Amino acid sequence: MADASPPLHPDIAPLAFLLGTWRGAGKGDYPTIEDFEYGEEVRFWHVGKPFLAYAQRTWDPNERRPLHAETGYWRLPGGGDRVELVLAHPSGVVEIEEGSLAGTRIELTTTTVATTTAAKSVSALRRLLDVDGDGLRYELDMAAVGVPMTHHLQASLRREPDA
Amino acid sequence: MADASPPLHPDIAPLAFLLGTWRGAGKGDYPTIEDFEYGEEVRFWHVGKPFLAYAQRTWDPNERRPLHAETGYWRLPGGGDRVELVLAHPSGVVEIEEGSLAGTRIELTTTTVATTTAAKSVSALRRLLDVDGDGLRYELDMAAVGVPMTHHLQASLRREPDA
């Protein structure tokens, strides 16, 4: 097994404010669907290399059934202010988002999206993520099914105390 | 939290032989680098939806430092024999692999690869994965840095007993 707690790679030190497990709730809307609410868990961790590993999942707050999930890696090449996010989605989509870091605020926009042969959905996303201490808020806009970039999700999460 | 052990979605029932945590060792070679050995952990799990979640990591068996990692989702659309794998790599690469399932043997080839602005490496992969009971063997060929599709990795993993 790899060392469980190596030092953070200096390239991603400016992203240290993301580390940990975050849980909370969000609300979704879109012109083509009914409004909905969801529970969410987001985890950021590192292994001493120049990236943060990332896994996210949401669930229906009433029935507990899983809704969305995504997983991938966050990069900050050269320790600068340009953020790169590589993502896989279980709908058969891979996606790259790029954008900027300013303090503890990150803005990202889809730059590449590709799908498997059987995948149906293709969308482009825009994310605004803002951390204040142990609080994380994000907003996500989506362009999909012929609808231009439109507000889709917003959520407020709290960082879990260290286990 | 989502239900921890929902029933397996029927579309991915033919992939149930992958479920669990696998650990073992592998060997790597390539025309442009020195031969190397690695330790590896692979996890496949599900949440009741039509995909398997997947996370993999390798490490240097001597120094314990992490080497490669990848994460994503395995799909078997309609429960047929066509396998789709969507992957994110921490090198700033997203990749789609597609191929076929025959019994407990899976062959996959890269169909799409895309990189972030700062990413350097682009490669295409071919995987052959074979499960026999609690043993998993794979071979991986790679085309990269001007070298055509060439043998790169082979490993033997064992499924861990249920926790």
Closest of B39, B40, B44 to residue B20, by C-alpha: B44
Alpha-carbon gap, residue B9 to A29, rounded angstroms? 27
Chain B residue numbers touching A69 (CB-CB < 8 A): 47, 53, 73
Give the CATH number for residue A49.
2.40.128.20
By Cβ distance, the residue of A75, A86, A114 closest to B96 is A114
- Give the chain A residue whose CA is nearest to the CA of B51: A90
The range of the structural domain enclosing residue A135 comes to 23-159
**Cβ-Cβ contacts under 8 Å, A51 against chain B:** 90
Q: B43-83 pLDDT, tens per residue? A: 999 999 999 999 999 999 998 899 999 999 999 999 999 99
Is B89 part of any domain?
yes
How many domains does the structure of chain B reveal?
1
Instruction: Kindly state whether residue A14 falls inside one of the protein's structural domains.
Output: no
- Per the domain annotation, does B84 fall within a domain? yes
- Per-residue pLDDT tens for A78-91? 999 999 999 999 99
Asked if residue B3 belongs to a domain, the reply is: no
| pTM of the predicted model as reported, rounded to 2 decimal places | 0.95
What one-character-per-residue DSSP string does B34-66 give? EEEEEEEEEEEE--SSSSEEEEEEEE-TTT--E
Q: What's the whole-number mean pLDDT along residues A42-50? A: 97
Kindly state the DSSP code that residue A18 receives in the 8-state scheme. G
ipTM field: 0.94
Q: Is residue B88 part of a domain?
A: yes
Distance CA B91, CA B137 (A): 25
CB-nearest to A84 from B3, B112, B118 is B118
- pLDDT recorded at residue B162: 80
Read off the pLDDT of each residue in B77-91 and give the average, rounded to a whole number: 96
Average of pLDDT values for B103-111? 98
- Whether residue A87 and residue B82 make contact (CB cut-off 8 A), yes or no, is no
Detail the DSSP E strand segments found in chain A: 20-30, 33-45, 52-59, 66-75, 82-89, 93-102, 105-115, 124-132, 135-144, 147-159
Residue contact B71–A53, C-beta within 8 A: yes
Q: pLDDT tens digits for B122-143?
A: 889 999 999 999 999 999 999 9
Look at residue A12 and tell me if it is in a domain: no
A108 falls within a domain = yes
| Domain-embedded: residue B124 | yes
Of B77, B86, B95, the CB nearest to A93: B86
**Shortest CA distance from B6: residue in chain A:** A65
- Partner B contacted by A69 (CB < 8 A): yes
Q: Is B41 on the interface with A (CB under 8 A)?
A: yes
The pLDDT confidence band at residue A122, using thresholds 50, 70 and 90, is confident
Closest residue on chain A to B68 (Cα): A49
